[in-house]
Amino acid sequence: MLQTQNKFLTLMLFVFATLTLNAQGLFESSTTGSDETDKPAISLGGYGRGVFYGGSKSFDYQSVFGEFALQGEVSAKHAFLFADLRFRGGLQYDSLGTVFQLKEAYAGYESDKFDIYLGEKIIKWGRTDGFNPTNNITPADYFFLTPEPDDQTLPNFLLQARWRITPQIELEAIGIPFYRPSVYRYELFDLGQTTSFTNPAFPEASFENTAVAGRLNVHLPAIGFSVSYFRGFSTMYGFDLKELIWGGIIPDIKLSAQTFLKNTTGFDFAIPAGSWVVRGELAYNHTTDYRDNMYIPNPGLSYVLALEHDFWGMTSILQYIGTYTFDFTSLTEPEPPSPGNNITMQDYITAMINKELTQFNRRIFYQQEVFNHALSLTLSRGFVHETLRAEIFSYYNFTSDEWFVRPALTWDITDRLQAALGGFYSKGPDKSLFFYSADVMNGIFFQLKVSF
């Protein structure tokens, strides 16, 4: 395994070295005889807002806060700096306090042919809407609930190099030295009084655990597409059974969040066809040791096919979201103790717990069946000279019978002042993901925002 990882690191270092050699020529050619000055161009903006999100079964107030954000860019010749700083105070579930968030902060070099950045940065890959199997780099805080879904994205500290081979073709390479997970607040779920979570088991910061990624991106009039690769620990994770503490008939169950190493090869495209746009993504995720570890998903395919069209001024996006699981095996029911076998009641309960936890991990990764099928539909339209915008985002999973709907109304009261009103409602059958998360995430939201 270590030899394979070193090969990947060597390959990425070679790519960076190649890009840097090209950049050296660009540096020299761009500075020779240049009439540019060192006077920096500065762009500064931001916003202040108040947010209310509440009304779930488990929490009257999930997310109630005031926030101030300051965003700025500085560029001088080829030097570039960007920062997004956010100060937030209020209530998040059962925690009251003040938070400083460094949303992004990175420096870089930009030219006609070559860009390089280093720092805390958000990178999004993929061409479909909301469901992006090729986007394996950026983690997210899925339990930070606001009217704006982009608030959930989190940065990575990374090195990014981008080479525009032609105006239509670019090559991108990324290195991420340490792991940053997405945020899944499983401890907020009502999993029973005997179930609790211990410290997560995430990879330590080391050269061996460095994530690497690369993408060839092509923009043509008839089609846009990219081919990508990612090797590293998944920002998505399941959980492992760490300990059973027996003090009675039913033990105390100690769980631990745990990620896994994967290799992902991806392809995405967008094709304009008259008034229609056809988009798609396909990713193959390769994993190992999944037979012996409940928190590691099987190798599989994830894919999205989307159709976008305007009907009578209303933008409509219909998406099919699916997965296919390789080497799928059905879970068997443990054999209960009986006079004819040597199975004890404790062994039987342990086997039942392992089966239920394995099944729950499969639900997390949409691998409870060989195929998983779902549809999403987004409808949006502007009114009153585009100052009022209504949107509804809906999702239904045919395999698990889970669904959600998210209506939202946004009103640009003035050029600087905006109000948003909406809600989120989800539902699922007993022991499904939505069955547990609905009690935490369902609710209504309101936001008042002033930008400058």
CATH number, domain at 185? Answer: 2.40.160.10
In a domain, 35, yes or no: no
Q: Read off the pTM.
A: 0.87
- The pLDDT of residue 173: 98
Is there a domain that residue 62 lies in? yes
Whether 379 is covered by a domain: the verdict is yes
Q: Indicate if the pLDDT at residue 183 is higher than 70.
A: yes
What value does the mean pLDDT of the chain take?
Answer: 91
Q: What is the largest CA-CA distance in the chain?
A: 93
Q: Kindly state the DSSP code that residue 360 receives in the 8-state scheme.
A: H
Q: Look at residue 308 and tell me if it is in a domain.
A: yes
Dihedral (CA of 157, 158, 164, 169) sign: negative
Spatial distance between the Cα atoms of 331 and 353, rounded to a whole number of angstroms? 12
pLDDT number for residue 342: 67
Is the pLDDT higher at 106 or at 247? Answer: 106
Cα separation, 131 vs 226, whole angstroms? 16
Pick from 26-30, 36-40, 146-150, 265-269: least confident: 26-30
The span from the CA of 209 to the CA of 232, in Å, is 7
pLDDT in tens, 306-345: 999 999 999 999 999 999 999 999 999 988 887 766 678 8
Condensed to tens digits (0 to 9), the pLDDT of residues 212-263 reads 999 999 999 999 999 999 999 999 999 999 989 988 788 899 999 999 999 9
Question: Is the pLDDT score of 440 beyond 60?
Answer: yes
Instruction: Please give the tally of structural domains in the chain.
Output: 1
Assess if residue 36 is contained within a domain.
Answer: no
Q: Is residue 445 part of a domain?
A: yes
388 part of a folded domain: yes
| Burial track 101-110 (b if 16+ CB lie within 10 A, e otherwise) | bebbebebbe
Residue 192 binned pLDDT confidence (cut-offs 50, 70, 90) = confident
Residue 253 belongs to a domain: yes
Query: What domain range includes position 364?
Result: 2-28+42-451
Question: Which of these ranges, 39-43, 160-164, 235-239, 289-293, has the smallest mean pLDDT?
Answer: 39-43
